[in-house]
Amino acid sequence: MSAIRVTDLTKTFGRRPALAGLSLEIGEGEMVALIGASGSGKSTLMRIVAGLELGDQGSRVEILGRPMQQNGMLGSRARELRREIGVVFQQFNLVARLSVMTNVLTGLLGRIPRWRGTLGLFRKAEKDLARQALRRVGIEATLWQRASTLSGGQQQRAAIARTLVQRSRILLADEPIASLDPSSARRVMDTIAEINRLDGITAVVSLHQVEYARRYCRRTIALRDGRIVFDGPSQALSNAFLRELYGTASEELILPDGPAEPARAERPTDRIAAPPAVLAST
């Protein structure tokens, strides 16, 4: 079954199409990079897939085989489906004044009675779950710290821990490493890759720099002006090919000191078969 199926997705803000008739399918357990220059539509696509925004008439989004939205309206089971999707944004979206523990426990809010969530009445088993999730992402020691005292990379990992507590089957990470230094960025990508590999959680990660896509994701979907211009093995994305796809805008996708050609992927145990390359006409 596909985790995400998007068909003829169009989204227009005012007169300008942010997404222009885009279709894609992502299988359960895949880890896919979404790349594209600024304004190419990555965040809009992520928000629509997460059910946080509506596509236009004629668009359809299915999550785990069930309709999340169609023709600009949410499906009847959208609320339930949203629970299956954990979202991590560039700007961490933690509540700064609350403890890391409480932030992670908010991942349970869709799954427990509203009154308990509102009053912050979490059970011991739930707190144990949050602690376990923080251990998984390597920051258990920060449990009782205020979220605002964490580094950017730690905050991002706390946001990932929250999606683990939520028990979502799909993780959408929208530029999760854009504000981080290279070593924190690697740690966050390692964490996402690990939960993808060990828990089978489908991960879609939007990235500004193709180097991380080559390194962590077998498959990359590249957007330009709201259309898919490449969908295939990340290893095919050499710098020369990126220049072909994006022209001068390719500069923002290439690390200045990165290699010109893709290095071998670092994930020897990746069990997801690479999809066939599809080059859309540009």
Ligand X SMILES: Nc1ncnc2c1ncn2[C@@H]1O[C@H](COP(=O)(O)OP(=O)(O)OP(=O)(O)O)[C@@H](O)[C@H]1O
Residues of the shown chain interacting with ligand X in the complex, contacts defined by CB under 6 A: 13, 18, 36, 38-44
In whole angstroms, how far apart are CA 234 and each of 227, 264, 275? Answer: 18, 10, 10
Apex 162 CA angle, 157 and 106, nearest 5: 140
Output the smallest distance, CB 205 to ligand X, in A.
13
Output the smallest distance, CB 43 to ligand X, in A.
3
Q: Considering the complex, state which of residue 133 and residue 189 has its C-beta at the smaller distance from ligand X.
A: 189
Output the smallest distance, CB 39 to ligand X, in A.
4
Output the smallest distance, CB 177 to ligand X, in A.
13
Q: Considering the complex, state which of residue 64 and residue 178 has its C-beta at the smaller distance from ligand X.
A: 178
User: Among 186, 200, 204, 203, which residue's Cα sits nearest to residue 266?
Assistant: 186
Output the smallest distance, CB 62 to ligand X, in A.
21
Q: Considering the complex, state which of residue 122 and residue 246 has its C-beta at the smaller distance from ligand X.
A: 246
User: Among 20, 19, 10, which residue's Cα sits nearest to residue 59?
Assistant: 10
Q: Considering the complex, state which of residue 47 and residue 214 has its C-beta at the smaller distance from ligand X.
A: 47
Q: Considering the complex, state which of residue 41 and residue 152 has its C-beta at the smaller distance from ligand X.
A: 41
Strand-pair partners of 36 = none
Q: Considering the complex, state which of residue 38 and residue 183 has its C-beta at the smaller distance from ligand X.
A: 38
Taking the mean position of all CA atoms in its chain, how far away is CA 75?
A: 22
Q: Are 250 and 239 in contact (CB under 8 A)?
A: yes
Long-range contacts of 277-282 (CB under 8 A, 24+ apart): 277/230, 277/231, 277/232, 277/233, 277/236, 278/228, 278/230, 278/231, 278/232, 279/229, 279/230, 279/232, 280/227, 280/228, 280/229, 280/230, 280/231, 282/224, 282/227, 282/229, 282/245
The three-state secondary structure class of 220 is strand
Output the smallest distance, CB 196 to ligand X, in A.
21
Output the smallest distance, CB 237 to ligand X, in A.
17
Q: Considering the complex, state which of residue 21 and residue 39 has its C-beta at the smaller distance from ligand X.
A: 39
